Structure 1
Amino acid sequence: MDFVEDYVEASDLQRRDAKDVIDEFCYEIKKMQGNCLDIGCGPGFVTKKLLLPILEHDVQLVANTTGADISETMVSYAQKHNADEKLSYIVLDIEAPELPSDQIERYKNILSFYCLHWCNDLRFALQNVYKLLQSDGKALIAFLGHHGGFDEYVRCKQNPRYQQYLQDAHRYVPYFQRMKISTNYKTSIEISLRKMLQDIGFKILHCSKREKSYRYSKQSLKDHAYAVNPFIHRLPDDIREEFIDHLVNEIISHNGLVPFESTKNEQDMYKNIVLRYYLMIAYVQKLPAAA
């Protein structure tokens, strides 16, 4: 996601859901003391506008763009537009085989919104979250468990016109959604997430799966699909628009998107489209090492 301006204009969904989670856990966030890390900060708006005002004045907040598709461009934008004396930005890959030594056990609190579903190996990413936390440190994370739009990446891969650019399409399907596709995964993803967190060593303070929805117009869906698309930079300029149109039409046709208003006018039909998805939320603590 290196098209920062496009993401800034088309990320209302991410900001809305992040605000909902922050509002719900506002009491816990207000009590946070010590270093904080916001994993997957993107352009920095959620970090600066939603998180920073809630945190205590003595909290040092360090925001990071992280995940499967790390964007130095995002970090540069955040540093330019959303940094101040309390807030700075670094590049950090939460799936890195070896984390920077100066980051290990540096943070008392970790927050992450709309990032970890981009990770190819969610368990490994969460293990790295564990390593970044200090003893007794806490992490509040929210990420997509299932979103029908990602299935369309795999379908688009079958189209000969786009196939060469989408060879790793499965890689960008959220972890639990991908497991369901590849292994007929039937266990509740909430139960699976709980087990994963416990196996890593976290104490679970909260874990839930939320069914959410978002209302789009066809144009806003197209803008969103472009802004978060991991393949768009690979495509030749002359087929990017065509690909996004194809992707959006696939999303509409396979996800049961129904307009709010019945109308015979096809142009008006897609002014209001609802897309449903699951958001995973976990609030966990790293327990002290046994004596």
Structure 2
Amino acid sequence: MEKPELYIKTSSLAKLNAEYVLDQHLEFFQNIDNCVVLDVGCGPGNITHEKIFPLLPKTKKKLIGIDISRDNIEYARKHHQIDPRISYEEMDILTDDIPNEYIGTFDIIVSLFCFHFIGDHRKALKNIHKMLKPGGKVLINFMKKSLLPNMYQYVYNKPKWTKYMSNFNEVVFINQPDDSLKELFEEVGFWQVQYEEQESNYLYNSDYGFGIVQSLNMFDVPKDLEREFIEDHLEYYEVNGVLAKNDADYVLNKYLSVLQTNNNNIVLDVGCGPGNVTYEKLLPLLPTSTKQIIGVDISNNNIEYARQHYQMDPKVSYEQLDILTDTIPNKYVEAFDLIVSLYCFHLVGDHRKAFTNIYKMLKPGGKVLISFISKSLIPDMYQYVYENPKWTKYMSNFKDVVFKPQTDEFTKKLFDEIGFVQVRSEERENTYTYNKEYAYGIIKSLNLFDVPKDLEKEFIENQFEYVENSGYVDADDNGKKQYHFSHTLFVITAGKF
């Protein structure tokens, strides 16, 4: 984070969380005379000075803010060091050499909205423990789960950016369950460990969202490429944000009875992506008797990321597998009691072959739970540009990656023909409305074809042309264009004799 002023302008989320945490723990800062306090990850100093300092007892002796960023520290010294008891120092909380004057020095150590930028929580907590006085207290809050790690991985996977993100593993945190965090604190040496979890959702316009992502940039990208770099971050939110999460939550919670059957000993998640839904959504809903859950995906980058970030439970593992393979590994044949696939099959061109492979991997008596987008404007939009000779040569994988809109009856018949039994399905229609800029961004982010960079803008504009000419556009109350993206979520369950 090297843009203090921009961060302050776009840090409403950090401020709101700081206010909530500090207000809930007022007693934490009281009745400690001549206390020495440390704020870890103070950023540009505004929260240190404006939020923490006023809560300390009048007899406070010193409040020190530390941050890894020299720009932040210089800004804090200039704008938020107006009391002689406040000071700011540059320090990496992952340092191997804690200054001697900090060891066993602090009565209170606070860290607000910082630890989700720290890759090694164990080392950071050990350093905090070393700097705390015996009898001292710590108050730490951070984003335990968010889209940030997957967003950074999405960008890191693009060869254009990988070379600028050499510090990726150091600064990208891992989503963690409550139990592992509590255990980590206790292993380091803390006691009387208490924690809470609060889920929050925030809605921003595109300009503000751009500013937030820009202010959080932790990578050394050349200035002339920075805007494109930030836009690629925002692509992730457009593709993998609320829409996919809401649909996954809906399916898993509605079909709990399928998930929680006691004989679901071995489970397969097809199209697991980066592993977040497998680990955070699917695993907690399975019965405690489940022995193993394997996530498979065609993307090696996704699998490597899932292994690094979402394999904290020994039951969970990830393997690279193309669901359209001609050769299913022998160990997978009739190996699974339950096979799940969420939000994947609209990216699979040959449903018959994919469902046949799933049938082969299912044990007799096993069940499947599959959801995907069965109808949307996307296939017709791609067909529109595919028929333009200018683009056909760049879309050689068109039939492999573009699904055909399917009816409920067609898919159920396909399941019957393959051999599935007790086939049940439902369709759920959803419509989302966006402004022009956001709609354009979604279409850009969904590009599945290898179009030369100098032609990409024209290629996207041709797709956007289809949307505008196909009745998906009208005007809002202010006369501005708004774009309606509708899709039908198809959910199917079935078994095997």
Bin for the TM-score computed over the shorter chain: 0.7 to 0.9
Deviations 1:68-88 (A, max 9, x none): xx1111111111111112211
Identity %: 27
Q: Which residue of 2 is the match for residue 250 of structure 1?
A: 236
Q: Which residue of 2 is the match for residue 82 of structure 1?
A: 80
Deviations 1:15-72 (A, max 9, x none): 1101110011012223344111111111111111111111111112323233xxx111
What letter matches 2:4 in structure 1? Answer: V
Residue 217 and residue 257 in structure 1: after superposition, are their counterparts in 2 closer, same or farther (change >3 A)? Answer: farther
| TM-score, scaled relative to structure 1 | 0.80
Q: Which residue of 2 is the match for residue 278 of structure 1?
A: none
SS in 2 for 1:36: strand
Residue 156 and residue 205 in structure 1: after superposition, are their counterparts in 2 closer, same or farther (change >3 A)? Answer: closer
Q: Which residue of 2 is the match for residue 5 of structure 1?
A: 5
Q: Which residue of 2 is the match for residue 184 of structure 1?
A: none
User: How far does residue 265 in structure 1 lie from its aligned partner after superposition?
Assistant: 4.1
Figure out how many residues of one structure are paired with residues of the other and give that number.
252
> Aligned equivalents of 1:264 and 1:144: distance in 2?
27
Q: Which residue of 1 is the match for residue 186 of structure 2?
A: 198
Q: Which residue of 1 is the match for residue 221 of structure 2?
A: 235
Contact 1:44-1:63 within 8 A present in 2 as well: no
Q: Which residue of 2 is the match for residue 53 of structure 1?
A: 54
1:266 lines up with 2:436 in the alignment: yes
Residue 267 and residue 120 in structure 1: after superposition, are their counterparts in 2 closer, same or farther (change >3 A)? Answer: closer
Residue 98 and residue 157 in structure 1: after superposition, are their counterparts in 2 closer, same or farther (change >3 A)? Answer: same
What letter matches 2:103 in structure 1? Answer: I
| Correspondence for 1:189 among 174, 177, 197 | 177
User: How far does residue 205 in structure 1 lie from its aligned partner after superposition?
Assistant: 4.3
Larger mean CA deviation between 156-165 and 135-144 belongs to 156-165
1:111 lines up with 2:110 in the alignment: yes
SS in 2 for 1:204: coil
User: How far does residue 264 in structure 1 lie from its aligned partner after superposition?
Assistant: 6.0
Residue 86 and residue 167 in structure 1: after superposition, are their counterparts in 2 closer, same or farther (change >3 A)? Answer: closer
Higher RCO structure, 1 or 2 (CA under 8 Å, sep 6+): 1
What letter matches 1:148 in structure 2? Answer: L
User: For 1:86-235, what aligned pairs fall within 5 Å after superposition?
Assistant: 86-175=85-174, 177=175, 189-231=177-219, 234-235=220-221
Spell out structure 1 runs of 4+ moving beyond 4 A: 267-270
> Aligned equivalents of 1:29 and 1:148: distance in 2?
32
Q: Which residue of 2 is the match for residue 65 of structure 1?
A: 66
Contact 2:39-2:64 within 8 A present in 1 as well: yes
SS in 2 for 1:208: coil
Kindly name which structure, 1 or 2, has the bigger radius of gyration based on alpha carbons. Answer: 2
What letter matches 1:54 in structure 2? Answer: L
5+ residue gaps in structure 2? 245-430, 442-497
> Aligned equivalents of 1:257 and 1:245: distance in 2?
19
User: How far does residue 211 in structure 1 lie from its aligned partner after superposition?
Assistant: 1.6
SS in 2 for 1:43: coil
Contact 1:127-1:200 within 8 A present in 2 as well: yes
> Aligned equivalents of 1:86 and 1:104: distance in 2?
19
5+ residue gaps in structure 1? 178-187, 271-291
Contact 1:62-1:90 within 8 A present in 2 as well: no
> Aligned equivalents of 1:264 and 1:42: distance in 2?
34
Contact 1:149-1:251 within 8 A present in 2 as well: no
User: How far does residue 267 in structure 1 lie from its aligned partner after superposition?
Assistant: 4.4
| TM-score, scaled relative to structure 2 | 0.48
